[in-house]
Amino acid sequence: MQFLDTKPFAHDEGGDPVVLAAIERYRVSSPDRMRQALTQLQRQETPIVIGLPEKGEFFTATLWSVDAAGDRLTFHAARAPQVLGIVTDSGRLWAAAYDGNHKVQFDVRGRTITQQDDTWVVGSHMPSALFALPRRTDVRARHAQGLEPMARFLGPGGGDPLELRVHDISRGGLALLAPAGTGLEPGTQVHAVEIELDPGEFFYADFQVQNVQPHDDEAADWRIGCAWTHMSPQAGAQLAEWTQRARRRKQLLSLSLDL
C-alpha cells in the first residue's frame, strides 16, 4: 500500500473493505507496544497533527504525557481559535505523527480541553486504534542544495508572495522548506502555485498542506508536507518526465524512497 503522507487520516472504518484489509496489518494491538509508540512521540516532542478528516480541519500539538495506568493522554497546543472547535466537535478525531521509518496514526477519543496560559491542554483516552504505517515507496526526487526546484504563490489569505525551496516532489505531493511565520498550517489550501523544476521549466497546480514539522538539516526551517489537490494531465506528465531525468542525473541528485 502507499504511505499515507498525503492523506494523513485516511483510515475510514466505513470505507472500502479491500483498503481496510491492507491497513489492518499495520494495526498495533499490544497495549505495551501502543504505549511504547506513544511514549516515543512524547520523549521526542514530535509534532502531531490532530484533525477532523471529513472536514479538512487540523491543528498541530505535542504529546505532553502518556498515562497508561489512568488510560489518558495529554496534548499541548497553541491557543489558536480553531483548536477548541475541532476538539469539541462530535466527529471522530485522528492524530498522525512521523517516527523514523513509520507514520504513527491513532484516534483521539474521550476528549477534554482546558486553558493554561497561552496553551490549550487537550486530554483524551488511550487510543482504541493505533497504526504504524510504513513510509511510501514512491520515489521522490531531490536536488543537491542550491539546485532545488522553487515554488511561488501568494501567502494564505491573499498575503505576500512566497518563494520557497522544494525539498522533494512526486506525483503525490511535495515538501517545501519554509521559515516560521508563513501561515502554512495543516489544512491550508493553496491555489495557482508555480513550480519551477529547472530554469525556464515550470507548471501550475494546487495543493493542501498536510503536516508541518522541523526540518532535520536546518533548524531554522520547517518542512511543509503537501498533497496535490489539482494538477492537469499535462503537468503530471511533465513532472513524471522530470523525475525520470532526475533519476538519471545521480551526480546532481539524491533520490529518496521515503518522505
pLDDT at 138: 45
> For the structural domain made of 140-256, what CATH number should be given?
2.40.10.220
pLDDT at 106: 92
Give the cell for residue 222.
520547517
pLDDT at 35: 94
d(CA 98, CA 213) in angstroms, rounded, equals: 9
Give the cell for residue 102.
513509520
Distance (Å) of CA 141 to CA 79, 92, 168, 175, 235: 37, 35, 6, 11, 16
Nearest Cα neighbor of 126 from 73, 78, 75 is 73
pLDDT at 206: 93
> For the structural domain made of 4-134, what CATH number should be given?
2.30.110.10
d(CA 230, CA 190) in angstroms, rounded, equals: 10
CB proximity list for 70: less than 8 A, separation 6 or greater: none
Concatenating the DSSP letter of every residue in 183-246 gives ---TT-EEEEEEEEEETTEEEEEEEEEEEEEE-SS-TTEEEEEEEEEEE-HHHHHHHHHHHHHH
Give the cell for residue 50.
490532530
pLDDT at 92: 86
Low-confidence ranges of the chain (pLDDT < 50): 1-20, 137-144, 218, 250-259
d(CA 26, CA 19) in angstroms, rounded, equals: 12
Give residue limits of the domains in the chain: 4-134, 140-256
How buried is residue 4: exposed, middle or buried, by Cβ count under 10 Å (0-12/13-18/19+)?
buried
User: What pTM, to 2 d.p., does this model score?
Assistant: 0.52
pLDDT at 18: 40
Distance (Å) of CA 104 to CA 7, 38, 115, 176, 224: 13, 9, 27, 22, 18
